[in-house]
Amino acid sequence: MPRHGVARVISKMGWGSRTQAAQWVREGRVRVDGRVVRDAEFPVRQGVDRIAIDGRETTPAKRLC
C-alpha cells in the first residue's frame, strides 16, 4: 500500500488544504497512531494509519454534490 505525506492525506480527506494541514502539523496539532508528528511529509497509509487533528480522528468529509 502506497504511503503519502500526512498533509496530503489530510487534504485528500477533505479536512482542509494541504497548506492548512502542513501548518497544523508544524503546530503539533496532528497525531498519527497516537504520536505527534511535526513533519508534513511524514509517511502515512490512508485508510490504515489513524490520523487525529486536535484529538479528533479524521474521517473522509461527506461530499456535497
**62 or 2, higher pLDDT:** 2
**pLDDT value at residue 11:** 94
1-27 pLDDT, tens digit per residue, is 789 999 999 999 999 999 999 999 999
Global pTM reads 0.84
Mean predicted confidence (pLDDT) in 49-60: 88
- The CATH superfamily assigned to 4-56 is RNA-binding S4 domain (3.10.290.10)
Q: Which residue, chain included where needed, has cell 485528500?
A: 12
**pLDDT value at residue 62:** 64
Q: Where are the domains of the chain?
A: 4-56
